[in-house]
Chain A
């Protein structure tokens, strides 16, 4: 059953380039919306599926599709954001090709192929039941995103793309060695037959994913890549791809949590410092997309923090991924909306009072920032779970509490500070434009859904499934032999 739903976007990936741009966009969006509804259905019914794909030679083991509540939760964000960004791509890329002086239709065929490939590979990634399978999709997503930046990026796009490629390739390869170590110890890399992940393997996986996530230090690639990518790609890269680093760590954690439990304190501190560091950087950015990129680093710090906080922390990782995906997708699309309407306007110092000219985009940005701050959106539960996990884990330890609270405050502050800089204040003196419907409607769709997720029935469906999934996995170590 699940395989069919996953095949839809895959097939469309190869069919879309054959169609006319409008049709291909709509078909691509629908091909992600169908699994989206299936995912919601799966969450509601607490479905857990395992479907065999292929068996490989001994140390690699079986490739299978694993659809449990955790996969479904991640897929939820991926499907929705991919579908909406696909719609958004049409007017945006038209603008971009125009700017680059390329012919629209033939370029769009290429674009939509790589776009679909990119999104599909991420979708398949979260349903992979084998670390190597997961790695393969990780690299395919890297490949597709790299090419998109390489072909259509801004600035010194080839250099930035190469830089992005190198960093994430190292990330992937480090994790790969970790996986292979696991393989040589356990004789298989299928989630359900790994008993334990040894120290070196864990370390390598963790380090690799820290680069991907990214934590402080290796984070330097992200502001380049996310700022210079064509905006629809940024809108997948930042919300979805980097968070998949958290997904990989999560899977490893569910199999063999000892590493993070043992090194809880250093990881926690690292997460806090990453988040605060990036949060402060946001205040100093003058490029809208670069600013958002730093905010991504800050938000991913949440995930690192949450990993240290027990069961509720793990649940928080999932919710945080979803909420950040929604929020950041919206925000990148707002940045893109301004770029498309005002001929590449990205410099915040040249903005101000933009609400006057693009009210719909401004309103969408507000919802986006609400998502980041966890205000009235699904992110609220993420923060709630992090805080609950904090008390569960550390008790009333004032320094940790203040650290986390400070991290949250910083997010809220930079969100509204940025909003004020860009959308409020004296209007900067542009012409009011008519915004293409596809440049704002998808943003509101994501925004409304992110708000609906705090109310029943969606909140119920998601949170119950997450709880069931994480707790069951924590008891049985779902991927993994019961100890």
Chain B
């Protein structure tokens, strides 16, 4: 068990080391181009182990000593969440790995790519399986670092395909286009802002409880101990990590420009790793915090209400942005943000609704992961074929990319929440949850959810329509004999049906028949019908030219980039300028002012050396007389 667990994390990293080293030595050589196979093999090992864990491991924790003196150990947890999530991560990563073999074939920096790709996967697995918060943080930091590496993978900024936004477009002082190196910087800078408070919260939890195992900490006691304000502060600090990683408002910008990375990275980033890590962590924490049992503890209610509201507002914002986007990947990125918001919202409702809300949020996470990975992989394939980042393509393209078309249709329908496919049941669950909340917190969450769902299906349909049906005609098509790429997304999308089967059959121990019951309620059906209607409408009318100014506004993310690119940097530069002047003043004083002053005194001291004995004797004798006089007068 020991070795199996260690290999789960280490094999992807170890297997990617050969290419990482070899590429530095002989970049682009034939031999080096074969080594990615080894990296994918490392992912495969992880996949096999994750499946083994899913099927065979008993629930519970498993400890490998790390810092026993500090009561900090590698504690792995195997429960409902981690087993599913681990298998999901490993599977999607492995599939995207296969896809990447073909997609990244001619890249100029394969060593970097595969090392960080595999590290990305390993980090996510570490986050998924860890019960110990410090160990989780290792994975968490690994995610941040790897995402930075991968988003900025095409560091030369010389490929138009790698940019986000229309190159050269400006709004006021804002440049509305982002090269990869800038995308990477935006990602890591945002994430650092979130990680540090989270790091603090982990340390504070350790300081207060002496324990870092999520499942063992007595959260209720901890919260009672630090009071309402303390609870809210501590948990908000903690959640800064998930919020930034999962791109909730106002930290969403990095996610949009994360599209500067290779599409494989976007696919992985948006489905099973990184952004999912935030929501996953929130669900995992809530799973053991038992918020529904903490109604007597002050502060928890405020916290969960805040998270729910933030999640739903982000979801709504994300959906609006996606409506206005015309870039394939950015559209999908905004939709991811929207989904993550829904997950947060639903998971936070567990305070009122109980554990089932967490299960529903988690199932939405699973559904979303498969569907979104598929859409990204197809989008990558489309970019390869059409050589443009923007939505375009018509029926002639659809004919040539049948697998892609089918996969997209399945993924959009399944994810959009059209009955009776997977997401419909999950979203029906969400509707149920929010409906239940109307009595307690008002109907705003419910309305937000429904609005978001409607928009969501609309832009998914738009994506489908603009790329395969009603989009402009592509000038040139570069379809090669790709096999691995269609294979990979076909595999991924098929998983949606597996989930559907699980829901419908009611074999899942926690979901049981609940989702079915929710889905068969009248209200849910109404929403489902509405969603279907908007989907069909958007499919037929993907663009409304009258509304294009609004679309542009939305597509520009309501000018939120100003926060990252203008407001915060301006403040920073102003402060640093001020500090620089202070520094220059101190520096001048110490290294020029003071020495010059000394030198002028020195010259004065030397000025008495006139060379005449007469003068010297006068000075010396005057001093002698003076001292003798003073000694006679003063000291007696």
Contact = CB atoms under 8 A, between A and B. Distances in A.
| Direct touch of chains A and B (CB < 8 A) | yes
A404 B494 CA distance: 48
Contacts of A356: 155-156
Given A391-B208, A396-B226, A420-B181, A408 B576 contact: no
B481 interface: no
A380 B145 CA distance: 14
A164 B182 CA distance: 38
B408 to A, nearest CB: 33
A424 B579 contact: no
Given A281-B576, A467-B69, A363 B196 contact: no
Contact of A409 (B179, B192, B230): B192
B204 A459 contact: no
B164 to A, nearest CB: 15
Contacts of A375: 141, 144-145
Nearest to A294: B583
B570 to A, nearest CB: 13
A360 interface: yes
Interface string A372-410: 010110001001110110111000101001001100110
Interface stretch (A65-73, A198-206, A411-419): A411-419
Nearest to A398: B233
A283 interface: yes
A109 interface: no
B188 interface: yes
A408 B134 CA distance: 17
A228 B555 CA distance: 49
B591 A163 contact: yes
A427 interface: yes
B6 to A, nearest CB: 10
Interface residues of A, number: 54
Interface in A450-475: 454-456, 459-460, 463-464, 467
Interface in A326-379: 353, 355-356, 359-360, 363, 370, 373, 375-376
Contacts of B573: 283
A247 to B, nearest CB: 23
Q: Please classify the interface of chain A as helix (H, G, I), strand (E, B), loop, or mixed, using the class held by over half of its residues.
A: helix
A355 B153 CA distance: 11
B158 interface: yes
A416 B189 contact: yes
Contacts of B137: 380
Contacts of A258: none
A417 B187 CA distance: 11
A423 interface: yes
B80 to A, nearest CB: 29
B141 A380 contact: yes
Q: Please classify the interface of chain B as helix (H, G, I), strand (E, B), loop, or mixed, using the class held by over half of its residues.
A: helix
B572 interface: yes
Contact of A412 (B66, B157, B192): B192
B142 interface: yes
Contact of A425 (B134, B181, B192, B583): B181
A413 B192 CA distance: 7
Contacts of B66: 455-456, 459-460
A416 B579 contact: no
A217 interface: yes
Contacts of B192: 373, 409, 412-413, 416
Nearest to B229: A396
A423 B148 CA distance: 13
A409 B24 CA distance: 31
A171 B204 CA distance: 36
A91 B82 CA distance: 51
A289 to B, nearest CB: 16
A390 B181 contact: no
A463 B199 contact: no
Q: Name the residue in A370, A396, A455 with the highest tally of chain B Cβ atoms < 10 Å from its Cβ.
A: A396
B542 interface: no
B24 A360 contact: yes
A370 B144 CA distance: 11
A383 B199 contact: yes
A262 interface: no
A84 to B, nearest CB: 19
Contacts of B182: 420
B199 A384 contact: yes
A465 to B, nearest CB: 10
Nearest to B580: A284
Contacts of B68: 460
B67 A283 contact: no
Contacts of B102: none
A232 B172 CA distance: 46
B493 interface: no
Interface string B573-614: 101110110110011001100000000000000000000000
Contact of A405 (B181, B196, B583): B196
B158 A426 contact: yes
A420 B184 contact: yes
B185 A408 contact: no
B179 A425 contact: yes
Contacts of A38: none
B197 interface: yes
Given A375-B144, A412-B196, A413-B192, A390 B69 contact: no
Interface in B42-69: 65-69
Nearest to B589: A220
A413 B575 CA distance: 15
A280 interface: yes
Given A359-B24, A370-B145, A460-B66, A217 B586 contact: yes
A426 B138 contact: no
A460 B73 CA distance: 11
A376 B67 CA distance: 16
Contacts of A373: 192
A363 B572 contact: no
Interface of B: 24, 27, 65-70, 134, 137-138, 141-142, 144-145, 148, 152, 155-158, 179-182, 184-185, 188-189, 192-193, 195-197, 199-200, 202-204, 206-208, 226, 229-230, 233-234, 237, 572-573, 575-577, 579-580, 582-583, 586-587, 590-591
Interface of A: 163, 217, 220-221, 224, 277, 280-281, 283-284, 353, 355-356, 359-360, 363, 370, 373, 375-376, 380, 383-385, 387-388, 390-392, 396, 398, 401, 404-405, 408-409, 412-413, 416-417, 420, 423-427, 454-456, 459-460, 463-464, 467
30 contacts: A217-B586, A280-B572, A280-B579, A281-B580, A283-B572, A284-B576, A353-B155, A353-B157, A360-B24, A376-B142, A380-B137, A384-B199, A387-B202, A387-B203, A388-B204, A412-B192, A416-B192, A417-B189, A420-B182, A424-B181, A426-B156, A426-B158, A455-B66, A456-B65, A456-B67, A460-B65, A460-B66, A460-B68, A463-B67, A463-B70
Instruction: Report, nearest first, the 10 A-B pairs whose CB atoms are least far apart.
Output: A387-B203, A424-B181, A412-B192, A391-B207, A280-B576, A424-B155, A388-B203, A391-B204, A408-B196, A420-B185
Given A281-B576, A420-B182, A456-B66, 16 more contacts: A277-B583, A280-B572, A281-B580, A284-B576, A356-B155, A376-B142, A384-B206, A387-B200, A396-B204, A412-B192, A413-B189, A426-B157, A459-B67, A460-B65, A463-B69, A467-B70
